[in-house]
């Protein structure tokens, strides 16, 4: 059985030491010199002993050696064509992995979508929308959308990342306030999770006229019987009609917004790759992909995918096992692809979210006036029947060999997922004691509640916590409102995971949250909430090197790539980042801006990002 990264990587040190002494030899007996040598840096290897070295040599796509070299040792790697560069004390770290990033739209979103992550008022939202509208109009890029209701082409304005708990009004902008931005252009604004706000024009495009009751569907005046916890149509207090804000699964009532074409999505992958490389990201896990695997394959074929991508098939909620079986037969095999694009694993949903008050919890959410369930909202499980959930997991993992990755936020959902995993893992290990299983719990917010703690079981069974640490900062004020102080202090228990022996792999959950990995690293160091400035759960912070490991070697471990990348060691892929700082010594507050100090990002020995024509000075032999 393979051990998690903190253990098995130590065995690579012997090979590292040997490689540091002399270059490899080719079959003809001559030395294989490096293509590039970086010297005089702070090379944070994140190997099994967290070694920091000064020099690194790269040949082709792989690292030849890392160490602290005398001139004579360094000279052994340098041939007539070797490029030798002086890091001048800059930090080099392994390339970062975002282990939860809905990536395909990111590149285009950067141009077409207003982000509200930092908005603190309805006025902020209106200002950001007006700026986007003016820019798209000036660029002639507004009328590019195909309307789903008519097939006609026209304008549409999009935004994302709003959270009513972060706005000073304590609510989201209603349709009238969005109409102040534009009455003629449809506006659709996605909440961070399970929510949408639209203007009046969107209702009209779906045939609903507020002045003509005969056009109203039943839900205009009465909530559907199918509504569950967190499903809310916000209504005008005077008329009782929808005000344009929907929560939970209620947004489905207002119909679909336009989607990008296949060609636009392929182009977005190329644009997004360039964007994330600028912050040091070299690999991503895109969870819950189905037909869009074609998009990645086409981008790869065209040379538009310089980063590494692993996708999970799904998304699965409570579908019958026979439906899942038909899907898996379509692929025929798990782990399809190579080290740049691979389909491996399946995503399943167990519950909702903490911000949307739909996660399955054992202690009710704090009461809010806007929640019709008041102080009796315990969220809900996607599949409350444990035996049925277990059969779904068996179908994927036992019958077809796919790893399981399950969205579980509330403690009740985490307990259900862990219990089902344990039974499936026991069954698989009974058949093959050496089977290498790396199931994960996605989000994994409430792992250490008093009556439902799963940390010990996760550690025993090797279940990975695939976490989104940035949520503590960006969404923490909303979570604090919904969960109360004590539970918020325990939410995403980084230190408890670490001390309990649970491997954490970090990601952003873009587009739900900002994708910048340095927000997550800052969160693990400080746990300081974005709006209030409150430090929530200070005893759950962790050292910087451990935070970095969750974005590097632990992410590689999640995708079974830890033997070939994720740390800077001889023989591994040369995925690395050069940062214009002494990273391990900077104050925590500076971590938030560290993405802007990424000067160079290398993937497989190729420089795929260089900031402003940045060049390290050359060194003579």
Can you name the residues that pair with 198 across neighbouring β-strands? 188
Element (H, E) at 577: strand 576-579
Considering only CA atoms, which of 149, 147, 133 is closest in space to residue 259? 147
As averages over each run of 10 residues, the pLDDT of the chain (621 residues) reads 49 37 47 92 98 98 97 93 98 99 96 95 98 97 90 94 93 98 98 95 96 98 91 95 95 90 96 98 94 94 98 83 85 83 94 93 91 85 96 94 97 99 98 98 98 98 99 96 97 99 98 96 98 97 99 99 98 99 98 98 98 94 64
Give the whole-angstrom CA distance, residue 158 versus residue 185: 10
Name the DSSP class of 495: H
Map residue 153 onto helix, strand or coil.
strand
Give the whole-angstrom CA distance, residue 590 versus residue 582: 11
Q: What is the pLDDT of residues 292-338, one digit of tens each?
A: 999 999 999 999 999 999 999 877 777 888 888 888 887 777 888 88
Give the whole-angstrom CA distance, residue 508 versus residue 559: 16
Buried b (16+ CB within 10 A) or exposed e, 233-263: bbbeeeeebbbbbbbbbbbebbbebbebeee
pLDDT of 441: 99
Give the whole-angstrom CA distance, residue 594 versus residue 252: 39
pLDDT of 12: 36
Q: In what order do the strands lie in the sheet containing 55-59?
A: 62-67, 55-59, 36-39, 83-86
Give the whole-angstrom CA distance, residue 379 versus residue 366: 12
Whether the ω angle into residue 511 lies within 30 degrees of 0, i.e. cis, is: yes
Strand 91-94, strand 576-579: pairing:
antiparallel
Q: What is the pLDDT of residues 568-608, one digit of tens each?
A: 999 999 999 999 999 999 999 999 999 999 999 999 999 99
pLDDT of 31: 60
Buried b (16+ CB within 10 A) or exposed e, 151-165: eeebbbbbbbbbbbb
Strand 52-53, strand 42-44: pairing:
antiparallel
Which tokens sit at 12? 């690579």
pLDDT of 10: 31
Residues sharing a CB contact under 8 Å with residue 100, sequence separation 6 or more, in sequence order: 285, 287, 442, 466, 468, 507, 508, 509
Helices (H), 374-469: 386-394, 411-431, 455-461
Mean pLDDT score of the chain, rounded to an integer?
A: 93
Q: How many helices (H) and strands (E) does the chain have?
A: 20, 27
Domains of the chain: 1-95+566-621 (2.30.40.10), 106-254 (3.10.310.70), 262-565 (3.20.20.140)
Q: What is the pTM of this model?
A: 0.93
Strand 598-603, strand 576-579: pairing:
antiparallel
Residue length of the chain: 621
pLDDT of 322: 87
Map residue 14 onto helix, strand or coil.
helix
């Amino acid at each position: 059985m393979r051990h998690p990264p903190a253990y098995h990587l130590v065995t690579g040190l012997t090979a590292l030491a040997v490689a540091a002494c002399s270059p490899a030899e080719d079959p003809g007996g001559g030395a294989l010199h490096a293509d590039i040598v970086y010297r005089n840096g702070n090379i944070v290897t994140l190997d099994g002993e967290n070694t920091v070295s000064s020099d690194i040599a790269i040949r082709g796509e792989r690292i030849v050696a890392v160490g602290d070299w005398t001139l004579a040792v360094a000279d052994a790697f340098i041939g007539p064509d070797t490029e030798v560069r002086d890091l001048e004390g800059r930090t080099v770290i392994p390339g970062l992995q975002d282990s939860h990033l809905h990536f395909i739209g990111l590149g285009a979103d950067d141009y077409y979508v207003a982000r509200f992550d930092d908005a603190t008022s309805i006025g902020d939202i209106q200002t950001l929308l007006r700026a986007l509208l003016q820019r798209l109009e000036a660029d002639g890029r507004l009328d590019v959308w195909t309307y789903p209701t008519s097939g006609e082409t026209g304008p549409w304005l999009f935004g994302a990342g709003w959270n009513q708990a972060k706005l000073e009004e304590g609510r989201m902008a209603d349709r009238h306030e969005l109409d102040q931005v534009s009455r003629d252009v449809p506006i659709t604004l996605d909440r961070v999770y399970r929510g949408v706000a639209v203007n009046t024009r969107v209702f009209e495009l779906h045939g609903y006229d507020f002045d003509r009751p005969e056009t109203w569907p039943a839900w205009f005046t009465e909530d559907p019987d199918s509504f569950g916890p967190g499903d809310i149509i916000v209504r005008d207090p005077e008329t009782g009609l929808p005000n344009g804000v929907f929560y939970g699964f209620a947004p489905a009532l207002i119909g679909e917004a336009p989607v990008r074409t296949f060609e636009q999505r392929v182009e977005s992958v190329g644009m997004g790759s360039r964007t994330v490389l600028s912050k040091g990201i070299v690999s991503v896990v895109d969870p819950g992909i189905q037909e869009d695997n074609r998009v990645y394959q086409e981008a790869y074929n065209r040379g538009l995918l310089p980063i590494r991508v692993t996708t999970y098939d799904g998304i699965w909620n409570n579908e019958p096992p026979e439906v899942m079986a038909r899907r898996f037969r379509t692929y025929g095999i798990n782990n399809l692809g190579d080290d740049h694009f691979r389909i491996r694993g399946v995503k399943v949903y167990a519950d909702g979210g903490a911000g949307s008050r739909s996660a399955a919890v054992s202690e009710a959410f704090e009461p809010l006036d806007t929640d019709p369930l008041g102080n009796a909202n315990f969220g809900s499980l996607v599949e409350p029947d444990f035996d049925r959930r277990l059969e779904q997991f068996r179908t994927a993992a036992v019958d077809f060999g796919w790893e399981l990755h399950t969205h579980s936020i509330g403690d009740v959902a985490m307990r259900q997922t862990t219990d089902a995993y344990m039974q499936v893992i026991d069954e698989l290990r009974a058949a093959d004691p050496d089977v290498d299983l790396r199931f994960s719990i996605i989000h994994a917010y409430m792992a250490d509640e008093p009556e439902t703690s799963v940390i010990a079981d996760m550690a025993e069974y090797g279940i990975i916590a695939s976490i989104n640490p940035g949520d503590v900062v960006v969404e923490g004020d909303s979570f604090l409102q919904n969960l109360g102080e004590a539970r918020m202090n325990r939410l995403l228990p980084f230190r408890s995971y670490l001390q309990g022996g649970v491997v954490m792999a970090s990601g952003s959950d873009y587009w739900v949250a900002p994708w910048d990995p340095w927000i997550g690293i800052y969160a693990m160091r400080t746990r300081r909430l974005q709006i209030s400035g409150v430090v929530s759960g200070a005893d759950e912070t962790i050292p910087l090197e451990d935070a970095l490991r969750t974005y590097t070697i632990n992410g590689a471990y999640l995708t079974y790539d830890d033997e070939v990348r994720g740390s800077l060691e001889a023989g591994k892929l040369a995925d690395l980042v050069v940062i214009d700082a002494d990273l391990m010594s900077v104050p925590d507050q500076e971590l938030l801006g560290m993405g802007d100090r990424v000067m160079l990002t290398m993937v497989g020995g190729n420089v795929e990002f260089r900031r402003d024509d940045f060049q390290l000075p050359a060194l003579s032999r």
